[in-house]
Homo-oligomer: A and B are copies of this chain.
């Protein structure tokens, strides 16, 4: 979720969490990163979101943010442990960088990692470390002054690391949400005029018209649509979407 005004994650997270073991097979861990400025706080559990008391806490208490990344895990490689639970996060450029991945990465263990060391043993965390190392090689120790150069770099590095694998990912830096589509990714931008939305995996409905003001914009990006009555756009394979201010600002080949 990436927005232009602080927005409660509860509704979208609620439907999403159902996929973590109740309505989906992704029962091997869940995580949620919530940004406040440049730092993210990251809730993680190596267990099913659908039955987690902490995930229920997130649904029950409003938690407003401009930028959040959530993940439910179905393990393909690595064990179900905290170390292997997405999203992964590291400090770079005095910011929390947060990463979640759906798919597999080929030859992940041979990628150059620079100064970043995986804590767990998933190919996803290796790929994240390689992505950070490549960004640091490109831009040094300062956040890029021209955002579009960062966009292009994420697209190019994502393409390189993703070659031959399925590198669907979300990457957040406190200002942007980058969403790479290798095989599966979709998004919706909620904006005026707001209407009703019903969760795809649950019987919960919300009337955004009652909760928003006309200038609000909220982009939701997910592997599969989270609601059943909104106009989800399916991203094309080999593209990187750049979200900022609740808008899709650019789509780059990746």
Residues of A at under 8 Å CB distance from B?
A: 36-39, 41-46, 53-54, 57, 61, 81-83, 90-96, 115-120, 141
Majority SS of interface residues in chain A? mixed
Given contacts A36-B83, A91-B116, A94-B119, 8 further A-B contacts (CB under 8 A): A36-B46, A36-B81, A37-B83, A39-B83, A41-B44, A53-B57, A94-B117, A96-B119
CB neighbours (8 Å) of A41 from chain B are 42-45, 82
User: Shortest distance in angstroms between A175's beta carbon and chain B's nearest beta carbon?
Assistant: 13
Give the distance in Å from the alpha carbon of A116 to the alpha carbon of B90 in the complex.
Answer: 11
Give the distance in Å from the alpha carbon of A41 to the alpha carbon of B32 in the complex.
Answer: 11
CB neighbours (8 Å) of A120 from chain B are 39
CB neighbours (8 Å) of A82 from chain B are 36-37, 39, 41
CB neighbours (8 Å) of A53 from chain B are 57, 61
Q: Do A54 and B61 contact each other (CB < 8 Å), given the known contacts A117-B94, A117-B141?
A: yes
Interface CB pairs A-B, < 8 A, 11? A36-B46, A36-B81, A37-B83, A38-B119, A39-B120, A41-B42, A41-B44, A41-B45, A90-B90, A91-B117, A115-B141
